[in-house]
Structure 1
Amino acid sequence: MKIAVVYNRESQAVINLFGTQNREKYGLETIRRIKDGLKKGGHEVETFEGDKNLIQNLENFMPSVISGERPGLVFNLSYGIQGRGRYMHVPGMLEMLGIPYVGSGPETHALALDKVVTKILLLQRGLPTPKFAVLDTPDSPLNEGLHYPLIVKPKDEAVSFGLRIVHNEKELREGVQVIYDTYDAPTLVEEYIQGREVNVGLLGNKPTEALPPVELVFGEGPQIFTYEDKKNESGRTVEKVCPAHLTEEETERVKELAVKTFEVLNCYDSARVDFRIDEQGNPYILEVNSMASLGADGSFVYAAEKVGLDYPALMNRIIDVTCERYFGKNFFDEESHESKTPASRIFQRLTTNRGKLEADLKAWTNISSRTEDAVGLSSVRKRLEEKLGKLAMEPVPAFSNGRSAWTWQTKAGLKDGTLIVVPIDVPGQRTGFPIPFRKEQEWIYGEGVASSRGGLTTILASLQALKDEKVLGKTKTGVFFYSDEGRGMRYSSLMLEKAAAEAKEVIVMQPGFVEGKVVDQRRGAKQYHVIVEGDPERIGKSAKPLDVLSWFLEKTDKLKGLNSRQKKIAVAVQDLKSERYSVLMPHRVTATIAITYIDEAIAEKTEAELHKLFKASKQGMKTYVEKITERPPLLHKKEHQLLPKLQKWSEAYQLPFGTESSLLATAAGNVPVDIPTVCGFAPASKHLFTPNEAMHRSELVQRSVLLALYLQGERT
């Protein structure tokens, strides 16, 4: 699964820096070890700073999951950047985003970080903790009747910041003054428990496992674990002994108290409870570390090693207990997740490799191959042929023209199989640099990312999954790719007709619609080149009929009368250019006019009307009307052999699926009418054929899964 390790170290990326700054940081070596340990567990891991850019980074790294896919998770190491509530910042953001995360929630961190509130809760539940008082200022009276020696520390800081033992009033006031000046916070004063210090690590949720107690042996100096000790700056070595030298009864007692403390504060997944044990063996709870240190020299890691959990095993065990909490105890149970069928194994292969899918999509998108770019098209073709060759597929010369259309097939051949159709050119007369690839939570942007690259990536991912499952060679599958989509398939349509006639069904990888909708009906399209030539006229000259530009505009106004919603036909001028001499009126007008339609008979009548409308009506005027492209419609069939099969697989794996009609003509119209055809099988798009073209992010894996499941299902 995808795991984002979130920490705070160098970044101060916030809108404003103010208030209490965080002093707690994980070392880079510890972050690296955590990342490596999780990777060893088979996870896809990235690291991010817990700053204002976190939301965008997580959106890019872990998009919304599909049904049945294991969601991403955050391994939270974030102590925050600033503020007294800094422990709560990242967990609060993650809860808002709906992202599962390791560790306690923001409310628990708020309680645990405030040592006074923690002690009050412990006392309410009858759990032992040293007597205490709170001094708001250095001059605040101490009225609770505490006995020296005492411990002073900030009420809401961690890792022993400001911690010291005081033996009299003078030392007490000095200690409180330092805390007040340094942290601008009240001071917690509690009775010092003469005796031993023991830490108990906790792991898991209901039941929570208490790790063997770890005793801290301080040697010379103060018998407390200071900040300098933790930073290895005190000049002494604090020895850790595990299991602690306690009686069996004392061991069970501190473990029981640790678990109860964990539950009182509503901790999750892991924590550490620190104790002092007096000379009579009575334990006292000092504090709760809701984010127990995972440093290699920390007592939590040390105790885990004693029960057989090395560092990678501990990191992955923390992930396991977190997933059990969110998704149930069987989430990582190998037997329950064992893929027993080819289909389930294919599903798992594709859903656990979303990162590679998106990396492949980026690589394809970053190769520019506009329709007019012969060099770019050659690069894409060669790369695609290399990929197909590695899949052990073979070219089919009979259905290739070597210039604009190519067909490849599996070892089982294409005959009576499934032909998958995809364009490799990016249509549109574009200028300037290609639009760069970028990702958002739901959409991926880039030049041709939806019109071409989404379909290419989907096909290759599906075929690779079949190859990994060792079934690709047995499937009757062909891939037809072409390079003149931007020219209306003027040169490749004949090859497609021949290849489709060899197959028993065709899937066209043009963008579909959101919610998994494919296209079962598309309008046809015809394009016409219209030229009007005449004598150049002077501006302002009174002449009848009008100059050629005015004449053409008058005719185009009448085109509106050819449109009919009822008859499902539309006529529009797509392009218009004029030529003129100096200050004279234009003497030549060139235009492109398009017709979209469902009924061929109505289209032919409209074409006749078009010729009639643009017939020359002035002496010296010449007109030309020439059809330049023709793309037949894809017509809805009442009995469709392909759609029910796709519906079956989508329901079996809870993939979104449906049908829709489209106004755009595609290669689907060039498939013989007796061949079952589905179009719009590539991921859904928005702003198609524009600089803002985008592809629906989740549908990249959804479509890859559905295509692979369908192809392997057809083998049986």
Structure 2
Amino acid sequence: MKIKLGLIYGGKSAEHNVSLQTALAVINALDMNKFDIHPIYISENGEWVRGQALEAPVKEVQTLKLQDGGTTVSPVSLNSELFPATVEEHGKIDVIFPLLHGPNGEDGTVQGLLELLNIPYVGNGVLASAAGMDKVVMKNLFAQAGLAQANYVAYIKSDFEKDPEAAYNQVEESLGYPCFVKPANLGSSVGINKCKDRQSLENAFKEAFEFDRKIIIEEGIIGREIEIAVIGNDQPVCSVVGEIAPKKEFYDYKAKYEDGDTDLIIPGNITEEEYETIKEMAIKSFKAIDGSGLVRADFFLTEDGKALINEVNTMPGFTPFSMFPMLWKQTGLEYPQLIEKLVDLALERYEQKQQIKHTF
């Protein structure tokens, strides 16, 4: 029996187009002898559109918008057993792979929906997804777990607007320059700026607040950017490490997705001792957010060999040329097998949850 795999992609997020690229890559890597692939597109305004099961690989991203043959549906139609009043035209889905990046998808919202629908899904649950998306909450959890990281401060827009000068002064006194200003709840380096003086700091605050009501400012760290991939549930395992070597000042959105102006060095050239430290910290960060399925953990490695965790990404870039799949390929797990492994982990976690008692 083939597994009926639903792929949710798109999303009401600034990372909508990144999600489409991810979906295209996953669809074309899946073994259609093992999976019936059911595309579920979320438009930029939040409309859900479900297509017929795919019978062949998809050539163009535009096709994934399901403008021909797609049916606008309610999300609850994914489980007509729980919601029998809904119209179910396509048959029950066995497991969902949310290929969503950013808010309204990677942040626990869709994961919460799938929990309510009692459908197995790939990746992190509600708590880990929400904590992994909110950089401030994430870093607070890392601090409590004793993980070394850069100094940071955070602001809510309404509080900042009461006294902007005080905020700028605090950044300069606590962190100094250079520093990085980021929206708290966004990925793919959207809205991030490196600041070297007061003027660039003010401009960065303004841009970051366009993408979120909460922002985080981190001290600049002189060090190499090292990344490691983690998969698993209760017993996570790590890949080899990779190194980001941007030819610009930092690894921004354009460097990631547009001009390719970055070297990805896999495996990264670090010592065995440094690798063991980073691996241990990555697993500790995974458990700190109660992760499941997958994360990519990002670190700074200073000249004196000290590792500082920067963040974890609960739905990292997932095309064959993204760091997460490339790290696993170098570790011995090819892209199609990686996808299958994540589906297996999703079903494993679902079965574990079904053993939990809900009455007493």
Q: TM-score, normalised by structure 1?
A: 0.40
CA 1:324–1:41 in 2, change beyond 3 Å: closer, same or farther?
A: farther
Equivalenced residues, count: 304
Q: Is it true that 1:199 corresponds to 2:227 in the alignment?
A: yes
Q: Is it true that 1:109 corresponds to 2:138 in the alignment?
A: no
In the TM superposition, what whole-angstrom CA distance separates every residue of 1:9-41 from its partner, at most 9, and x where no partner exists? 5xx7xxxxxxxx543434545423312433346
> Gapped runs of 5+ residues in structure 1?
13-20, 64-70, 329-716
3-state SS of paired residue (2:109): helix
Q: 2:5 aligns with which of 3, 6, 9?
A: 3
Matched with 2:301 is 277
In the TM superposition, what whole-angstrom CA distance separates every residue of 1:64-88 from its partner, at most 9, and x where no partner exists? xxxxxxx8111111347x76x8732
In the TM superposition, residue 62 of structure 1 has moved relative to its aligned partner by 4.3
CA 1:201–1:41 in 2, change beyond 3 Å: closer, same or farther?
A: farther
Q: 2:95 aligns with which of 73, 78, 91?
A: 73
Structure 1 distance, partners of 2:331, 2:312, is 22
In the TM superposition, residue 171 of structure 1 has moved relative to its aligned partner by 2.1
Counterpart mapping for 1:439-478 below 5 A: none
In the TM superposition, residue 205 of structure 1 has moved relative to its aligned partner by 1.5
In the TM superposition, what whole-angstrom CA distance separates every residue of 1:405-462 from its partner, at most 9, and x where no partner exists? xxxxxxxxxxxxxxxxxxxxxxxxxxxxxxxxxxxxxxxxxxxxxxxxxxxxxxxxxx
User: 2:25–2:319: 8 Å Cα contact kept in structure 1?
Assistant: no
Q: Is it true that 1:129 corresponds to 2:149 in the alignment?
A: yes
User: 2:120–2:350: 8 Å Cα contact kept in structure 1?
Assistant: yes
Q: 1:43 aligns with which of 32, 35, 41?
A: 35
In the TM superposition, residue 252 of structure 1 has moved relative to its aligned partner by 1.0
Matched with 1:254 is 278
Structure 2 distance, partners of 1:108, 1:168, is 35
User: 1:3–1:72: 8 Å Cα contact kept in structure 2?
Assistant: yes
Q: Is it true that 1:25 corresponds to 2:25 in the alignment?
A: no
User: 2:108–2:127: 8 Å Cα contact kept in structure 1?
Assistant: yes
User: 1:78–1:87: 8 Å Cα contact kept in structure 2?
Assistant: no
Structure 1 distance, partners of 2:123, 2:279, is 20
Q: 1:239 aligns with which of 251, 263, 267?
A: 263
In the TM superposition, what whole-angstrom CA distance separates every residue of 1:338-396 from its partner, at most 9, and x where no partner exists? xxxxxxxxxxxxxxxxxxxxxxxxxxxxxxxxxxxxxxxxxxxxxxxxxxxxxxxxxxx
Amino acid at match of 1:194: I
Matched with 1:226 is 252
Larger RCO, structures 1/2 (Cα 8 Å, 6+ apart): 2
Q: Is it true that 1:288 corresponds to 2:312 in the alignment?
A: yes
In the TM superposition, residue 308 of structure 1 has moved relative to its aligned partner by 2.1
Amino acid at match of 2:234: K
Amino acid at match of 1:149: P
User: 1:7–1:26: 8 Å Cα contact kept in structure 2?
Assistant: no
In the TM superposition, what whole-angstrom CA distance separates every residue of 1:236-268 from its partner, at most 9, and x where no partner exists? 521111111100000111111011100000111
In the TM superposition, residue 57 of structure 1 has moved relative to its aligned partner by 4.8
Structure 2 distance, partners of 1:151, 1:315, is 34
Q: Is it true that 1:95 corresponds to 2:125 in the alignment?
A: no
3-state SS of paired residue (1:262): helix
Structure 2 distance, partners of 1:307, 1:209, is 11
CA 1:227–1:304 in 2, change beyond 3 Å: closer, same or farther?
A: same
Q: Is it true that 1:155 corresponds to 2:170 in the alignment?
A: no
CA 1:79–1:239 in 2, change beyond 3 Å: closer, same or farther?
A: closer
Amino acid at match of 1:37: A
Matched with 2:75 is 54
Amino acid at match of 1:8: G
Q: After TM superposition, where is structure 1 displaced by more than 6 Å over at least 4 residues in a row?
A: none
CA 1:276–1:41 in 2, change beyond 3 Å: closer, same or farther?
A: farther
Amino acid at match of 2:330: K
CA 1:253–1:225 in 2, change beyond 3 Å: closer, same or farther?
A: same
CA 1:44–1:115 in 2, change beyond 3 Å: closer, same or farther?
A: same
CA 1:184–1:249 in 2, change beyond 3 Å: closer, same or farther?
A: closer
3-state SS of paired residue (1:159): coil
CA 1:184–1:112 in 2, change beyond 3 Å: closer, same or farther?
A: closer
The structure whose Rg is larger is: 1
In the TM superposition, what whole-angstrom CA distance separates every residue of 1:491-542 from its partner, at most 9, and x where no partner exists? xxxxxxxxxxxxxxxxxxxxxxxxxxxxxxxxxxxxxxxxxxxxxxxxxxxx
User: 1:40–1:312: 8 Å Cα contact kept in structure 2?
Assistant: no
Structure 2 distance, partners of 1:318, 1:6, is 15
In the TM superposition, residue 197 of structure 1 has moved relative to its aligned partner by 0.3
In the TM superposition, residue 207 of structure 1 has moved relative to its aligned partner by 1.3
Matched with 2:356 is none
Structure 2 distance, partners of 1:187, 1:28, is 26
Structure 2 distance, partners of 1:231, 1:327, is 37
Matched with 1:34 is 26
CA 1:171–1:30 in 2, change beyond 3 Å: closer, same or farther?
A: closer
In the TM superposition, residue 162 of structure 1 has moved relative to its aligned partner by 1.6
User: 2:26–2:319: 8 Å Cα contact kept in structure 1?
Assistant: no
Structure 2 distance, partners of 1:217, 1:305, is 19
CA 1:4–1:167 in 2, change beyond 3 Å: closer, same or farther?
A: same
Structure 2 distance, partners of 1:40, 1:100, is 20
Structure 2 distance, partners of 1:294, 1:23, is 13
Structure 1 distance, partners of 2:36, 2:142, is 40
Amino acid at match of 1:106: V
Structure 2 distance, partners of 1:88, 1:119, is 17
3-state SS of paired residue (1:25): helix
Q: TM-score, normalised by structure 2?
A: 0.78
CA 1:40–1:248 in 2, change beyond 3 Å: closer, same or farther?
A: farther
User: 1:5–1:77: 8 Å Cα contact kept in structure 2?
Assistant: yes
Matched with 2:323 is 299
In the TM superposition, what whole-angstrom CA distance separates every residue of 1:167-218 from its partner, at most 9, and x where no partner exists? 22232222112222x2252321111110100111111122101111110111
In the TM superposition, residue 96 of structure 1 has moved relative to its aligned partner by 0.8
3-state SS of paired residue (1:303): helix
Matched with 1:626 is none
Structure 2 distance, partners of 1:112, 1:139, is 30
Structure 1 distance, partners of 2:19, 2:133, is 21
- For the aligned residues, what is the CA RMSD? 2.3
